Amino acid sequence: MSAPKIDMKGKSVMITGATAGLGRAAAIELAEMGADLTIVCRNASKGEATLAEIREKAPDVVASILVGDLGLQADVRRVASEFLASEKPLHVLFNNAGVVQQRRSETSEGFETTFAVNHIGYFLLTTLLLERLRASAPSRVVSTASDAHKMSGGELDFDDLQSEKKYTTFGAYGRSKLCNILFTQELAEREGGNGITANCFHPGFVGSDFAKNNGAVARVVIALISPFARSTARGAETGVYLCTSPAVAEQTGGYYFNMKPHKAASSAYLPGVAEKLWQASERLTATGDRPRPVA
């Protein structure tokens, strides 16, 4: 069962990580529904190639690219500033960019790469665009999480969010995906009265270029297990559903798989953890919007 086709004409959508994998599949699907697309990508030439592919499949699409590395806060701030300067509304923000790193590395700004791209990038871009999302309400924030969060090792260690004490490939990746779920919950709590919904989803194991940046061994492993993977279009369908479907227009704070609510690990539901992560993220990005609403 694929996501239903919804008329998205007049809706402005920003999507990150759209030059490959499920992000590209989602961008094409959204363009075919008539959305006004803004694609955020790290590589301008790949972005232009993706736009050409989208325009071939949806000739009437209004689409543009913004170039920036979602792992660099300076780039995220510039991308947000450029979008805000366009004065476009923002009805849907689809946070999708992601990485898996075989070995621990740091960005030029000194942040562990997986955490920087997969969580801080989502957090910072969203918070910088909150006012535009509020002004465009009803609006949606959709984030690509993963059941890999169940490999995070349990509860978040706030003394080691950037895996300085211990680093494993899937431990770091799993923690970043747990952060996506917690971020979604806290965003939903904070923005429920402002016409913004926030949901995230597990795409399943998708056959794409994801993780192939980790050398020959990773490429061989991906090639061996690819026959068992779902297509990029299938991986994208729950994200597209959350971006477009009237059925979830008033649902917020959820984690989905196959277009249905999905149970996350118990570590995603521990009291106070989502708020604590938000506060830690504010410190790491030097941001701060407003206090959490009082229940």
Residue 196 belongs to a domain: yes
Residue 290 belongs to a domain: no
Reply yes or no on whether the pLDDT at 51 is more than 70: yes
- The CA distance from 35 to 32, in Å, is 7
The CATH number covering residue 167 comes to: 3.40.50.720
Q: Which residue bears the tokens 């649902």? A: 251
Q: Give the pLDDT band (50/70/90) at residue 208.
A: low
**Beta carbons of 239 and 96 less than 8 angstroms apart:** yes
Residue 139 belongs to a domain: yes
**Beta carbons of 127 and 287 less than 8 angstroms apart:** yes
**Main-chain phi, psi angles of 200, to 5 degrees:** -135, 170
For residue 106, give the amino acid letter.
E
Please give the positions annotated as active site: 173
Residue 291 belongs to a domain: no
How large a percentage of the chain has pLDDT more than 90? Answer: 83
Residue 1 belongs to a domain: no
Beta-bridge partner residues of 255: 200
Per-residue H/E/C for the chain: CCCCCCCCCCCEEEEECCCCHHHHHHHHHHHHCCCEEEEEECCHHHHHHHHHHHHHHCCCCCEEEEECCCCCHHHHHHHHHHHHHCCCCCCEEEECCCCCCCCCCECCCCCEHHHHHHHHHHHHHHHHCHHHHHHCCCEEEEEECCHHHHHCCCCCCCCCCCCCCCCCHHHHHHHHHHHHHHHHHHHHHHHHHHCEEEEEECCCCECCCCCHHHCHHHHHHHHHHHHHCECHHHHHHHHHHHHHCHHHCCCCCEEEECCEECCCCHHHCCCCHHHHHHHHHHHHHCCCCCCCCCC
- pLDDT at res. 221: 40
Residue 294 belongs to a domain: no
Residue 100 belongs to a domain: yes
Q: Which residue bears the tokens 């030029």? A: 108
- pLDDT at res. 80: 98
Work out how many domains the chain is built from and give that number: 1
**Beta carbons of 230 and 206 less than 8 angstroms apart:** yes
Q: Which residue has the higher pLDDT, 138 or 2?
A: 138
- pLDDT at res. 218: 42
- pLDDT at res. 230: 74
How large a percentage of the chain has pLDDT more than 70? Answer: 89
- pLDDT at res. 108: 97
The structure's pTM equals 0.91
Q: What is the domain range of residue 80? A: 12-282
Residue 189 belongs to a domain: yes
